[in-house]
């Protein structure tokens, strides 16, 4: 992986921060296409059972291993919350072979196609699909602590999680938290370096009504199927139909958010 996308020296630039006694973020530089400095962030969550889960795993540095050991080192869940946040899944799966790998439809095939040989293929214990939307569960201990929603309408097929004990929302590309100040804080360079980064940051600002983020979701959504004459057939629908599909998909999250803290982890 080119250093234009991810750092070649993750230990030197990663910021490890305890958000709560149960939640730790792993923040590092990441540049989409080598042009947009959006930052990367993994999240370790300790369940009430004592088991650990990691979302969007980052490089498994010695410092990250030390943090896992500090929290009991009982990693049971490795979660790729969309079709893009999976770069370091293999590294974590090799280090914790008994952990369940969880992802979205299309990701196992994408990773298998990119593997050099069969030994590099990581089996997925749970895969969320549009066909079984709302029916896929992870485990009893995981489900006690988390509510989650699969949003196949998103171009990256997003999984969104609410960690109930700390009332914290964990997302991947469903929400951008820019500029990536913490992720670039140890690099000696500004997080908003480059005209493309500044333009994208302005578009995806969370200030005010955050219309850029809303429009990005609306226009990048997969066109839903329309009910015509009692039969479900694919056809191009108006923008209102796309908005309605995303609105419906986000209802469980919207219901939970009024009681949630302001902590939203990208």
Mean pLDDT, all residues of the chain:
84
> Exposed, middle or buried, 29 (CB in 10 Å: 0-12/13-18/19+)?
buried
pLDDT digits (tens, 9 = 90+) for 48-69: 999 999 999 999 999 999 999 9
What three-state secondary structure class fits 213? Answer: helix
Cα 219 from Cα 111, distance rounded (Å) = 27
- Contact (Cβ atoms closer than 8 angstroms) between residue 11 and residue 186: no
Cα 192 from Cα 205, distance rounded (Å) = 12
pLDDT digits (tens, 9 = 90+) for 17-40: 999 999 999 999 988 777 778 889
- Contact (Cβ atoms closer than 8 angstroms) between residue 168 and residue 20: yes
Strand partners, 42: 26
Mean pLDDT of all residues in 155-168:
96
- Contact (Cβ atoms closer than 8 angstroms) between residue 152 and residue 239: no
Mean pLDDT of all residues in 237-255:
52
- Percentage of residues in the chain having pLDDT higher than 90: 54
Cα 208 from Cα 194, distance rounded (Å) = 24
Name which of 35-44, 120-129, 161-170, 253-262 the model is least confident about. 253-262
In the chain, the domains with their CATH numbers are 10-265 (3.60.15.10)
Cα 106 from Cα 84, distance rounded (Å) = 10
Neighbours of 40 (CB within 10 A): 25
Cα 160 from Cα 4, distance rounded (Å) = 28
Mean pLDDT of all residues in 188-207:
83
């Amino acid at each position: 992986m080119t250093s234009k996308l991810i750092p070649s020296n993750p230990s030197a630039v990663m910021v490890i921060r305890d958000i709560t006694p149960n939640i730790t973020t792993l923040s590092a530089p990441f540049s989409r296409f080598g042009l947009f400095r959006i930052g990367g962030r993994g999240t370790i969550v300790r369940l009430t059972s004592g088991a650990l889960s990691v979302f969007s795993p980052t490089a498994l540095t010695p410092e990250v291993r030390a943090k896992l050991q500090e929290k009991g080192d009982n990693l049971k869940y490795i979660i790729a919350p969309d079709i893009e946040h999976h770069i370091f899944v293999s590294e974590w799966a090799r280090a914790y072979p008994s952990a369940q790998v969880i992802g979205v439809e299309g990701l196992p095939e994408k990773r298998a196609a990119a593997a050099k040989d069969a030994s590099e293929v990581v089996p997925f214990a749970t895969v969320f699909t549009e066909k079984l939307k709302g029916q896929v569960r992870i485990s009893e201990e995981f489900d006690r602590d988390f509510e989650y929603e699969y949003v196949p309408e998103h171009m990256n097929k997003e999984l969104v999680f609410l960690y109930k004990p700390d009332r914290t929302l964990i997302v991947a590309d469903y929400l951008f938290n820019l500029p990536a100040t913490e992720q670039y804080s140890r690099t000696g360079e500004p997080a908003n370096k480059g005209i493309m980064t500044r333009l994208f940051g302005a578009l995806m600002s969370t200030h005010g009504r955050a219309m850029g983020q809303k429009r990005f979701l609306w226009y990048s959504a997969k066109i839903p199927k329309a009910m015509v004459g009692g039969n479900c057939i694919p056809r191009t629908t108006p923008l209102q139909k796309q908005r309605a599909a995303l609105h419906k998909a986000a209802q469980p999250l919207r219901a939970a958010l009024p009681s949630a803290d302001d902590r939203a982890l990208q």
